[in-house]
Structure 1
Amino acid sequence: MSQTSFEIQQAAVIGAGTMGRGIVMCLANAGVNVQWVDNNPQMLEQALTTVAQTYAHNVRQGRIDQAEADARMARVSAAADYAAIRNVDLVIEAVYENLELKQKIFRELDGLLKPEALLASNTSALDIDAIAAATRRPAQVLGLHFFSPAHIMKLLEIVRGAQTSPAALEAALALGKRMGKVSVVSGNCHGFIGNRMLHPYVLEARKMLLEGAYPQQVDAALQGFGFAMGPFRMYDVVGIDLEWRARQLAGKGQDAPQVQVDNRLCEMGRFGQKSGNGYYHYEPGSRQAEHDPEVDALILRVSEELGFQRRDIGAEEILERCLLALVNEGAKILQEGIAGSAHDIDLVYLNGYGFPADKGGPMAWADQQGLADIHQRLLALETRQGDQWKPARLIGELAAQGKGFADR
């Protein structure tokens, strides 16, 4: 089989958590045979049951027939260990976000798999080159960042490392197409395209809580603009505790003023929807986010303890700060060559982050505003709030030429 026409017939997934389950279904649904490995046999057993239940549910809903459900299920099998998966074309690792653990897995797999097999990590932020460095096949290593729930979300970020070969990228893009994904290639940097842009966006939202806003105000402004959900509802859905635990593990970031509200919520066991309380309250069995005055009181206390003078923050300021934070980071991603085009960035935000479809994505929205206008607005924020608002070089350059991101 020549490198150029490498087609993925057999795959393996490492990890039977939520992401692993979704990825297994994506592969099985696309006609790929999947061997599934997890070092906890009970967890793997449960995961196989969950997948079977999901297919049964799809049959009841009339989405697929029984024969199709049986065919999909037949493509999935449990594998006892890494030795059992040595003949696969692709392994996708979906264990928790820990670089050392991922390097250890990749080192072991590299020693067992056939030389042309691809090794992919479903990391959402870790350094693909550092993971590839644990192997003797860095050209065959890449990131396949699925979005949760993986079998439902359309977006797939394909992350190319410094040494990822064009053939490996081509095979990954072909697989993305077979799985019915919207695939976007990203360069390797912390958080890739989507999560890297999300960081300054949620940072502004959190800062505004300390300065005078409340969660439902911030969310209402962004949902009014057309987002599927605002940042605080989003955190309740994914779990506020994920970043909190990551900060604990890393032993850093826990003291930043912006995360103090999150920390206090987590210390109270308010992890979001799954625990019935987060930034909002949820009645048993309900996903309806309800305003919780207790959270407002907590925010008031935390901001006063930190010495903030609270003020009224309107919907306009919320939109201005959150949207311009996205656009400015997007421009940096473009200027660094992490994304191939502004359209790619928009695809990520439309398909993975609930950006309003009628606005075309953050970069298209900025082009509609006019980059000269965006540039001025960023300069005004820089004057008022400091140099984190310094406009990306690319915005100034394009604005001076009367061009937009789309012209690049």
Structure 2
Amino acid sequence: MTDVASYLETAGTLAWKVPNLPENTPHRPIKTVGVIGAGTMGGGISMNFVNAGMTVKIVETQQEALDRGLGVVRGNYERSAKRGRFPMEEVDERMSRFVGTLNIEDLSDCDLVIEAVFENMDVKKEIFTTLDRVMKQGAILATNTSALDIDEIASVTNRPEDVIGLHFFSPANVMKLLEIVRADHTADDVVATCMTLAKTIGKVATLVGVCPGFVGNRILFARQGQANRLLNQGVMPWDVDAALNAFGFRMGPFQMSDLAGLDIGWSKGAKTANPIRDALCEMDRRGQKTKAGFYDYDENRNHTPSDVAAKVIRDITGAEPTSMPAEDIVEACIYPMINEAVKILEENKAQRPSDIDVVWINGYGWPADKGGPMFYGDTVGAAAVLAKMEELAQEDPSCEPAQLLRELAATGGKFTEIDTGGLKTNGGA
């Protein structure tokens, strides 16, 4: 097998190549960028373009939110300057390229606008309806959604060919990965422009298709689903995390949940598909920000297993705490990721297997020595992955093995050699 370093180098090069997109595809000039939302994501996204010398118009609904957002950005720049990354006088220079506004119509002359508000389809459709009305012809209309249907968002406009997904990862001014999401009607020149723009702002880009969660989060959802299922069997969250830490992840599923905030997508009184999370949030155990979630945290955010969380899990699941070998935990969490990746390739939502590995290496902390889900799948073999998926599917229908996984197991084929032919293009038709 190819050594992992060579594989990842080749994968990183291939990710920039878009099959079926003519090399002479024209580009749209991008000089001024509009960003809707000055929160954590909006501010971080804006910094990428300002750092590349562009002007960014950033819009909020309230002056307080706008001031707070730009204050956070200035603080980020000042910290970077103090670390010697650039002279302190450059802080003001970079901040001068921001134009704050409370009026979305002030974005009308921008070449690209990126919507970065919270994950609510109705809100996003309302924004895109407005953008369709106010933006100049030829402007690219992008959404930073991490999971929602971009075709549905585009449907409220009269120019779906101008709509694309630009899924930045948090913190957006630090994380290298950018999922560029091609919708059904996205024009070729919009795709080409965004791929080139990603290089300009120093990102690692992969072109993906529209499906729930796209590539990275869809695979993450598969892992999280199995991690939650282990809790229902009595395995404690710290045991799951420890197994994934030993595999090479800096953070396991529940450590990551605590960091992100357990209340993402939750509101008081809500009953979701995750009753353990609901119960913890009702107790104001919402993760690191409240110093309590699945773990307890001290003032330095050091974590320790929580007796309170353990009791909540026992009370809700009715399962007695049990131990499980780390190897079994890894298989239960990692093999479903490989299976989901194969389904993504079956559905032609990723250009090639190595793009999936690029996503997970650059966006989710997959251990580099294991090359990504597809590369790792080849180290264990399709037959082993299929056997585990068939076992899991007896209890969880979401683990139904992909048809292509069955074929690989039967023929001894490799995950990294699956050929999808690239995402379909339409030229904006």
TM-score using structure 1 length = 0.93
**Greater share of helix residues, 1 or 2?**
1
Of 113, 119, 124, the residue aligned with 2:146 is: 124
Aligned position for 1:290: 304
Distance, in Å, in 2 between the alignment partners of 1:208 and 1:381 is 11
Distance, in Å, in 2 between the alignment partners of 1:327 and 1:403 is 14
> Does structure 2 conserve the Cα–Cα contact (< 8 Å) formed by 1:16 and 1:47?
yes
Distance, in Å, in 1 between the alignment partners of 2:344 and 2:392 is 20
Aligned: 1:47 with 2:69: yes
Q: State the shift of 1:354 in Å.
A: 1.2
> Does structure 1 conserve the Cα–Cα contact (< 8 Å) formed by 2:44 and 2:172?
yes
Aligned position for 1:269: 284
Counterparts of residues 54-203 of structure 1 (less than 5 Å) = 54-203=76-225
Paired amino acid for 2:117? V
> CA-to-partner distance for each residue in 1:157-203, whole Å, 9 max, x for gaps?
11111000111011111111111111111100111111111112111
> Does structure 1 conserve the Cα–Cα contact (< 8 Å) formed by 2:113 and 2:141?
yes
Distance, in Å, in 2 between the alignment partners of 1:309 and 1:53 is 47
Q: State the shift of 1:270 in Å.
A: 0.5
Aligned position for 1:207: 229
3-state SS in 2 of match to 1:180: coil
Gaps of 5+ in 2: 1-23, 419-429
Runs of at least 4 residues off by over 6 Å: none
Paired amino acid for 1:296? A
Q: Bigger relative contact order, structure 1 or 2, given CA contacts below 8 A and separation 6+?
A: 2
> Does structure 1 conserve the Cα–Cα contact (< 8 Å) formed by 2:62 and 2:102?
no
Distance, in Å, in 1 between the alignment partners of 2:127 and 2:311 is 46
**Range 59-68 or range 40-49, more displaced:** 59-68
Paired amino acid for 1:295? A
The structure-2 alpha-carbon separation of the partners of 1:3 and 1:44, relative to structure 1 and needing over 3 Å to count, comes to farther
Aligned position for 2:275: 260
3-state SS in 2 of match to 1:241: coil
Paired amino acid for 2:149? D
> Does structure 2 conserve the Cα–Cα contact (< 8 Å) formed by 1:13 and 1:35?
yes
The structure-2 alpha-carbon separation of the partners of 1:312 and 1:4, relative to structure 1 and needing over 3 Å to count, comes to same
Q: State the shift of 1:99 in Å.
A: 1.0
> CA-to-partner distance for each residue in 1:288-314, whole Å, 9 max, x for gaps?
12222221122122221xxx4654322
> Does structure 1 conserve the Cα–Cα contact (< 8 Å) formed by 2:82 and 2:88?
no
3-state SS in 2 of match to 1:47: helix
Distance, in Å, in 2 between the alignment partners of 1:180 and 1:162 is 27
Of 361, 372, 379, the residue aligned with 1:361 is: 372
> CA-to-partner distance for each residue in 1:78-134, whole Å, 9 max, x for gaps?
124122221110000011111111111111111111110000011111110111111
> CA-to-partner distance for each residue in 1:141-160, whole Å, 9 max, x for gaps?
01111111110111111111
Distance, in Å, in 2 between the alignment partners of 1:247 and 1:29 is 42
Paired amino acid for 1:103? K
Aligned position for 2:14: none
Distance, in Å, in 1 between the alignment partners of 2:401 and 2:269 is 29
Paired amino acid for 1:405? F
Aligned position for 2:41: 19
Distance, in Å, in 2 between the alignment partners of 1:232 and 1:341 is 30
Distance, in Å, in 1 between the alignment partners of 2:356 and 2:403 is 18
Aligned position for 2:3: none
The structure-2 alpha-carbon separation of the partners of 1:386 and 1:214, relative to structure 1 and needing over 3 Å to count, comes to closer
Distance, in Å, in 2 between the alignment partners of 1:206 and 1:222 is 14
Paired amino acid for 1:392? A
Paired amino acid for 1:260? P
Of 327, 333, 336, the residue aligned with 2:347 is: 336
Aligned position for 2:406: 396
3-state SS in 2 of match to 1:358: helix
Aligned position for 1:350: 361
Distance, in Å, in 2 between the alignment partners of 1:246 and 1:188 is 31
Aligned position for 1:251: none
> Does structure 2 conserve the Cα–Cα contact (< 8 Å) formed by 1:154 and 1:351?
yes
> CA-to-partner distance for each residue in 1:359-403, whole Å, 9 max, x for gaps?
0001110011121232233223335x3543321011122233322
> Does structure 2 conserve the Cα–Cα contact (< 8 Å) formed by 1:19 and 1:148?
yes
> Does structure 2 conserve the Cα–Cα contact (< 8 Å) formed by 1:265 and 1:278?
yes
Aligned: 1:321 with 2:321: no
Of 391, 405, 413, the residue aligned with 1:380 is: 391
Paired amino acid for 1:294? V
The structure-2 alpha-carbon separation of the partners of 1:78 and 1:109, relative to structure 1 and needing over 3 Å to count, comes to same
* Count of matched residue positions in the alignment of Structure 1 and Structure 2: 395
The alignment yields a C-alpha RMSD, in angstroms, of 1.7
Aligned position for 1:8: 30
3-state SS in 1 of match to 2:58: strand
Paired amino acid for 2:338? V
The structure-2 alpha-carbon separation of the partners of 1:229 and 1:350, relative to structure 1 and needing over 3 Å to count, comes to same
Paired amino acid for 2:266? W
